Structure 1
């Protein structure tokens, strides 16, 4: 691949690129990821999205190049790891040997349940580092913005509850565990715009009272995940 040769040359001959490390690249990875998100959400032209994807890919290639220099792994290993994972996790599409099954589900719920079951099987397999009981919140990326973190925590807990009980629509049990209750004066929100306005009002209230809204929500998610972990024993 031409790109790998270019990055190898830069790591060899460019003093700035040569000094990059996994740690020093983190800020660029975050920045480039958000620039891609912005381009998608703003519906920018395809060539701009392509450019932002290229910038994200650069981060992957740089990390792989640094690892290769230390004898850990290289870009081909990363690609192979992803290939194996996609086959393993998408067992509603692939057989264990990577061949296509030939008959595929149409239900999104069935597909998500299959993915979650495959992920759970990996974590519960004997000899794995993560060991016995499956915790659906264990692998949550803690550096996500608080709203995204909260949404993912509730979503994973809801799907786990549905798989455990065989019941659909498990959002309500997850919400109760998080301490939420449906009160008579609960705001009636018709769409995402109204939800956004309501969230902005909550942030304004937090500012008036000297509270940190990000920290408050992150703390609530931590308490919620702790509750789920205790429930799992």
Structure 2
């Protein structure tokens, strides 16, 4: 990691790269989202995943060096913060708490989070990042608000009632997300995978057409 940080400091130096020197936390936001999404897409291909995780790590180093320049924090603080959090939220490993299965672990995690906030409930708007994909954000919102189970029938009902406008489409999508939740399907990942197959099929057909053209 120190090699990567040194590389970023060199790129940000007065005689470094003009583009890298111009970047800010704000300007890098789309790149962080893009690199994280590409890492998700790379799961299943070890070589590609290794490369994409490196790109995500680059974003961490970039933000760390920018913050370091501002005197806000550095990579050491980032690392210390996450290590302390992981130890604190795993008392069943690093302390005397008990958690016999994954469900119990989640309960311990949530309890420690509440204790960190002094027992106060975290507002839902803070729990669900605005930068999430729309389907995933809706899924988490439904879970957080205690929205009931969905069904095929509810989706059909939403379709029948929906107008041909943005609100109508949103209502149907919300019903689809609820149906997916009930079926144990992550709607965001399901649609991403279907879209990837569509793109791959199109590219393969286009490539075949060029070869026989």
Partner of 1:73: 73
Partner of 1:114: 108
Partner of 1:175: 147
Q: 5 Å matches for 1:75-154?
A: 75-95=75-95, 101=96, 105-124=99-118, 133-135=120-122, 137=124, 138-154=126-142
Q: 8 Å contact 1:140–1:149 — kept in the other structure?
A: yes
The total of aligned residue pairs comes to 169
Distance 1:56 1:212, change over 3 A: farther
Partner of 1:30: 33
Query: How many Å apart are 1:49 and its aligned residue?
Result: 0.2
Distance 1:76 1:213, change over 3 A: farther
Greater share of helix residues, 1 or 2?
Answer: 2
CA offsets 1:100-139 (integer angstroms, 9 cap, x no match):
x5x86331111000000000111126xxxxxxx3136243
Distance 2:122 2:69 in 1: 35
Gaps of 5+ in 2: 175-213
Q: CA RMSD in A?
A: 3.1
Which segments of structure 1 move beyond 3 Å, counting only runs of 4 or more? 154-157, 212-218
Gaps of 5+ in 1: 96-100, 126-132, 158-173, 189-197, 219-233
Distance 1:32 1:142 in 2: 17
Distance 1:76 1:124 in 2: 26
Which secondary structure does the structure 2 equivalent of 1:6 belong to?
Answer: helix
